[in-house]
Chain A
Amino acid sequence: MTPPLSTADDATRQAEFEARIARGESIEPKDWMPEKYRRQLVRMMSQHAHSEIVGMLPEGNWITRAPSLRRKMSLLAKVQDEAGHGLYIYCGTETLGVDRQELVDQLLAGTAKYSSIFNYPTLTWADIGAIGWLVDGAAIVNQTMLAKASYGPYARAMVRICKEENFHKRQGYEIMVTLARGTPAQKAMAQDALDRWWWPSLMMFGPHDKDSPNSDELLKWGVKKKSNDELRQRFVNLTIAQAKAIDLTIPDPELRYDEASGNWIFGAIDWDEFWRVVKGDGPCNRERLAARRKAHADGEWVRAAATAYAAKRAARDAGAAA
């Protein structure tokens, strides 16, 4: 039996598409792409955008209590950047034929996923340091790779984001340095924050390669260029020296340097905790969603006012023209 024409066509197109990926070409919105490639991108990019938006909440919690005006200005600017990152990536996702409204609705309905790191609480000021240092640090490792992703709009959004993330990481590390060199109580606060944020930061890279169902396809299509485990290892290797420099201890008794590979070998990650938080039972899942919904509802009057103002102006312009 001969296959229907469209199937034969699709097979040819798919082969051409894969050849383009192999040549390292960038795929643009109007180019033909396999439906699964489009779906994988929508899934990954929307989760990424949601993470930027929800990521504002744990830090926003400390803006009013920042210990100095300098710290407050930095934190405000950093949190504003994260809103921008969310918008860059939502706009990239829209090039795949999705409306932002749909994605926002999914987030507010609680059906969308976002990075589980943001379901942990920010208990002390040192947590703001630890987030910038570790969470943004991990994000940089991941996003530097994604800046070479095969989908053009995603890659370009990542280039823009990476330029801003370095500020995020440095302001966080500076907070840690200051606390680590401060009073014994301040240093203990910094160590406590590192103790609580270290393992969740390693989990940010996702499950081990063998347990990551989407990884193969994402790697095959050049959306990702490195695997979860490779990225996690790179992050650990980079971070150990930064902890040592300020005399803080990584909370992992099994941590050791491996001469042969040049890698820092770390202990087992608690994947039960990871899945618990992903599935909604982290310390702050419900709180985050409630805060996001409240913020959206509280902004309703602003959106209504902007719409009414635009309508009034349009009517006035129409009147003037008549």
Chain B
Amino acid sequence: MSQMTDSQWPLWEVFTQPGGGRPHEHAGSVHAVDAEHALQNARDVYGRRGEAVNIWVVPSAAICASTPEDMGPFFDPGNEKAYRHPQFYKVPQGVRVF
């Protein structure tokens, strides 16, 4: 067998949740042999100062993403519907809606 690739374990994407009920956010990535190891590495790399109250690790290969080429057609349905915004609707002057 050829020499072991000694620092190139699989890549995992790391998502950290800051305190205060905020959503998980992508922090970066780590190399690790398995999920448990990835969590430990993620804690050491992305949470040395209490930045995270919770961590997700996901094999990088498992992430599906939209491509930049999709930009136009893929997001169009959301871009051209002005009636989804409150400003689209008229209310009599002087009435407080919010």
| Chain A positions near chain B (C-beta within 8 angstroms) | 28, 30-32, 77, 80-81, 84, 87-88, 91-92, 94, 99-101, 104, 156-157, 160, 164, 300, 303-304, 306-307, 309-310, 313-314
Q: Is the CB of A88 within 8 A of B34?
A: no
Q: Which of B1-9, B75-83, B87-95 contacts A (4 or more CB under 8 A)?
A: B1-9
Q: Please report B residues at the A interface, Cβ cutoff 8 Å.
A: 4-9, 11, 27-31, 33-34, 37, 44-45, 48-49, 65, 67-68
Asked if B7 contacts A28 (CB within 8 A), the reply is: no
Contact of A300 among B6, B34, B65 (CB under 8 A): B6
Bound CA span A99–B44, Å = 21
> CB distance A94 to B33 under 8 Å?
no
| SS class, residues of chain A in contact with chain B | helix
Tell which of A81, A94, A164, A310 has the most Cβ of chain B within 10 Å. Answer: A310
- B9 in contact with A87 (CB, 8 Å): no
Task: Kindly list chain B residues whose C-beta atoms are within 8 Å of the C-beta of A310.
Answer: 33-34, 37
- The answer to whether B65 and A30 touch across the interface, beta carbons within 8 angstroms, is yes
**Contact partner, A94, options B7, B29, B48, Cβ 8 Å:** B29
Interface contact A307-B9, CB-CB below 8 Å: yes
26 residue pairs of the A-B complex, CB under 8 angstroms, read: A28-B68, A30-B65, A30-B68, A31-B68, A32-B68, A77-B48, A84-B44, A87-B30, A88-B28, A91-B30, A94-B11, A99-B8, A101-B7, A104-B7, A157-B28, A160-B27, A160-B28, A164-B49, A303-B4, A306-B9, A306-B33, A306-B37, A307-B4, A309-B33, A310-B34, A314-B34
**B44 proximity list for chain A (CB < 8 A):** 84
A87 and B45 contacting across the interface, CB-CB below 8 Å: yes
Given the complex of chains A and B, what is the CA–CA distance between A99 and B9 in angstroms?
11
Q: Are B34 and A100 within 8 A (Cβ)?
A: no
> Which of these, A91, A164, A306, contacts B29 with CB under 8 Å?
A91
| Residues from chain B with Cβ under 8 Å of A314 in the complex | 34
Cβ distance B55 to chain A, nearest Cβ, rounded Å: 15
With A84-B48, A87-B45 already in contact, the answer to whether A100 and B7 are too (CB < 8 A) is yes
**Complexed CA–CA distance, A99 and B31 (Å):** 11
Cα–Cα, bound, A28→B26 (Å): 14
Q: Of B11, B34, B67, which one neighbours A313 at CB under 8 angstroms?
A: B34
Q: Given A31-B68, A80-B48, A84-B48: A101 and B8 within 8 A (CB)?
A: yes
Closest 8 CB pairs of A and B: A310-B33, A101-B8, A310-B34, A91-B29, A91-B28, A31-B68, A306-B33, A303-B6
| Complex interface: chain B residues within 8 A of A80 (CB) | 48
Asked if B31 contacts A100 (CB within 8 A), the reply is: yes
